[in-house]
């Protein structure tokens, strides 16, 4: 299914800076809003405003598309919160078949998402008091019942948390039918609270932290031994490893164990299985360079950092090298362009890009744009890269140093100021008569002319194609999903791609093959 992404009537609007922009058809706007979702306020839009815009868009789109988008966001873009919002809203609007049940089952990837979905359903349906979860959607209930049958005791035990809605509450509400006697015994354990506590790095270190030690040296040795045991056991997941590099280093583990950590971090198969957002590697990289740069460590990790006293800072270089290899492994399957295809990559470093990706994160939308841009830069042969704010500047960096390049841009971002003068990118190559085959803007889309000269990126792009490079294509990588585009999408070789995951490059490859950005969603099977 193809979508005509432009309104057949009035398609012009104004963006949040008051500049000329273009509206999208509901499917494209919903896609860009979903895959850039965050549970905190954005620079221009409060969370309440975004959730209301999402509801309006869902109602305007076909239910099947909404369902496929929910599963696409969960399974391809690795998002957790927004798929639950989509299925909750879809359950309000759609009935008469089992679509909601199939989508519900499709978005539940972890055992705790059963209770998370019920909490989302309660919140978005404004259920309170004795009416908290009565009149649960039958199809949503059916989908949750199917999901219950997919998890074992370890998975239930790992995510059996003490939230407002507990796993036991969910079991009574959903009434899943056990598929055999063993599963019935498992359900009974959920009811009686007898699930076996799983062996995880959190439980092991938490238990150690509650013990009394004769001295600080004994405590430090115990934590060093425990970290080494966890590393040897393979029970420390890749994400946990990535997020605890500073703590592992501080524990003073042996060099032999450092080698194991580095080998696992940089293993291409491990990287592929881990499915981490690219900027997670950047967060780990910065934490090693300067632990204060990414803000205080949260929760248990913060407590553990205070408990261990060792230090292996001399091995930091090994860890940084391992992270760089991991990122390069994550970029290995990105389809770049050969030496005959000229590409220009431009990063928006404006003030509106200085928004945290989540309420607890010190990483900014700006970092996401740089990270994705540097991943693509590493795969292109004939490429220029730069950043724009008040001005536009190209910066020469090596293709093989992805994380280092992000840091270099981060160090120099003040050199161009903080406006959103993206039109300068096109104006530059137009005035220099430089032929580019691909122009790629990583931005939140709120482009304007702060000089009040009347320059517009749409008009400049049309001139550039007419006068310099008729076959050129412009790709807008939308990192915030505000719902407007600075150029007319799907006209004059302008395409929109949205999201924070490296999966955006699969969409780029699809566009190169003549497909739309929504074809990948429509290929999802339900």
The one-character DSSP state at 244 is T
Do 82 and 117 meet the contact criterion of CB atoms below 8 Å apart? no
Q: What is the pLDDT along the chain (526 residues), one digit of tens a residue?
A: 232 333 343 577 776 666 676 778 899 999 999 998 875 555 546 778 889 999 999 999 999 999 999 999 999 999 999 999 999 999 999 999 999 999 999 999 999 999 999 999 998 988 765 456 667 889 999 999 999 999 999 999 988 888 889 999 999 999 999 999 999 999 999 999 999 988 788 888 888 888 998 888 999 999 999 999 999 988 889 999 999 998 898 899 999 999 999 999 999 999 999 988 898 999 999 988 876 554 333 333 444 344 334 455 668 899 999 999 999 999 998 998 999 999 999 999 998 898 887 767 778 888 999 999 999 999 999 999 999 999 999 999 999 899 999 999 988 988 999 999 999 999 999 999 999 999 999 998 888 888 878 789 999 999 999 999 999 999 999 988 887 777 788 789 999 999 888 889 999 998 988 888 889 899 999 8
Identify the burial level of 314 via C-beta atoms within 10 angstroms of its C-beta, where 0-12 means exposed, 13-18 middle and 19 or more buried: exposed
The pair of three-digit structure tokens given for residue 343, joined into one six-digit string = 């590409």
Ordered strands of the 12-14 beta sheet: 12-14, 20-23, 484-485
Task: Look up tokens 């590409």; give the residue.
Answer: 343
Do 67 and 90 meet the contact criterion of CB atoms below 8 Å apart? yes
Q: What is the pLDDT of residue 293?
A: 53
Q: Is the C-alpha dihedral spanning 37, 39, 44, 46 positive or negative?
A: positive
DSSP per-residue letters across 213-246? -SSHHHHHHHHHHHHHHHHHHT-S-HHHHHHTHH
Phi and psi torsions of 313, nearest 5°: -65, -20
The pair of three-digit structure tokens given for residue 415, joined into one six-digit string = 């050199």
**E strand or H helix at 201, and its extent?**
helix 201-209
Helix (H, G, I), strand (E, B) or coil at 250: helix
Helix (H, G, I), strand (E, B) or coil at 14: strand
Distances from the Cα of 267 to the Cα of 31, 227, 515, 522, angstroms = 32, 20, 33, 33
The pair of three-digit structure tokens given for residue 514, joined into one six-digit string = 């003549």
What's the CA gap between 329 and 309, in Å, rounded? 33
Q: What is the pLDDT of residue 298?
A: 37
pTM: 0.84
Closest residue by Cα to residue 424 from 484, 364, 349: 349
Helix (H, G, I), strand (E, B) or coil at 345: strand
Strands 484-485 and 473-478: unpaired
Q: What is the pLDDT of residue 2?
A: 32
Closest residue by Cα to residue 14 from 442, 496, 447: 447
The one-character DSSP state at 364 is B
The one-character DSSP state at 195 is P
Closest residue by Cα to residue 56 from 73, 39, 36, 33: 33
Q: What is the pLDDT of residue 7?
A: 39
């Amino acid at each position: 299914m193809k979508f005509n992404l432009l309104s057949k009537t009035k398609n012009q609007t104004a963006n949040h800076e008051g500049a000329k922009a273009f509206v999208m058809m509901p499917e494209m706007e919903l896609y860009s809003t979903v895959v850039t979702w965050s549970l905190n306020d954005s620079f221009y839009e409060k969370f309440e405003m975004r959730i209301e815009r999402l509801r309006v868009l869902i109602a305007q789109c076909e239910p099947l598309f909404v369902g496929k988008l929910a599963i696409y966001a969960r399974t391809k873009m690795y998002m957790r919160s927004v798929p639950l919002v989509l299925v909750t809203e879809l359950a309000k609007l759609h009935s008469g078949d089992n679509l909601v049940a199939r989508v519900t089952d499709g978005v539940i990837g972890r055992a705790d998402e059963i209770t998370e979905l019920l909490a989302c359903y309660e919140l978005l349906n404004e259920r309170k008091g004795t009416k908290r979860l009565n009149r649960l959607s039958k199809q949503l209930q059916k989908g949750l019942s199917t999901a219950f049958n997919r998890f074992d005791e370890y998975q239930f035990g790992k995510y059996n948390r003490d939230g407002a809605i507990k796993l036991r509450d969910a079991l009574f509400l959903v009434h899943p039918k056990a598929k055999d006697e063993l599963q019935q015994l498992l359900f009974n354990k959920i009811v009686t609270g007898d699930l076996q506590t799983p062996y995880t790095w959190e439980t092991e270190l938490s238990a150690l932290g509650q013990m009394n030690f004769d001295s600080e040296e004994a405590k430090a040795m115990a934590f060093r031994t425990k970290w080494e045991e966890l590393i040897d056991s393979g029970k420390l997941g890749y994400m946990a490893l990535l997020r605890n590099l500073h703590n592992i280093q501080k524990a003073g583990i042996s060099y032999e164990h450092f080698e194991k950590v580095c080998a696992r971090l940089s293993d291409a198969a491990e990287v592929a299985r881990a499915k981490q957002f690219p900027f997670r590697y950047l967060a780990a990289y910065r934490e090693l360079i300067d632990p204060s740069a990414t803000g205080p460590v949260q929760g248990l990790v913060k407590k553990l950092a205070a408990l261990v006293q060792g230090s292996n800072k001399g091995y930091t270089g090994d860890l940084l090298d391992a992270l760089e290899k991991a990122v390069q492994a994550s970029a290995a399957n990105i389809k770049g362009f050969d030496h005959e295809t000229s590409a220009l990559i431009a990063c928006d470093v404006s003030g509106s890009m200085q928004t945290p990706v989540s309420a607890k994160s010190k990483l900014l939308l700006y970092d996401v744009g740089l990270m994705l841009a540097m991943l693509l830069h590493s795969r292109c042969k004939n490429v220029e890269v730069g950043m724009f704010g008040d001005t536009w500047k190209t910066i020469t960096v090596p293709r093989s140093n992805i994380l280092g390049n992000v840091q270099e841009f981060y160090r120099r971002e003040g050199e161009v100021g903080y406006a959103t003068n993206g039109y300068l990118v096109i104006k530059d190559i137009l005035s220099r008569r430089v032929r580019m085959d691909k122009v790629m803007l990583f931005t939140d889309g709120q482009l304007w002319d702060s000089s009040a000269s009347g320059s517009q990126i749409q008009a400049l792009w049309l001139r550039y194609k007419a006068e310099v490079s008729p076959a050129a294509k412009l790709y807008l990588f939308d990192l915030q999903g505000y719902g407007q585009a600075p150029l007319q999408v799907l006209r004059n070789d302008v395409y929109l791609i949205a999201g924070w995951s490296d999966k955006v490059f699969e969409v780029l490859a699809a566009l190169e093959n003549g497909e739309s950005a929504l074809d990948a969603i429509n290929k999802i099977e339900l």
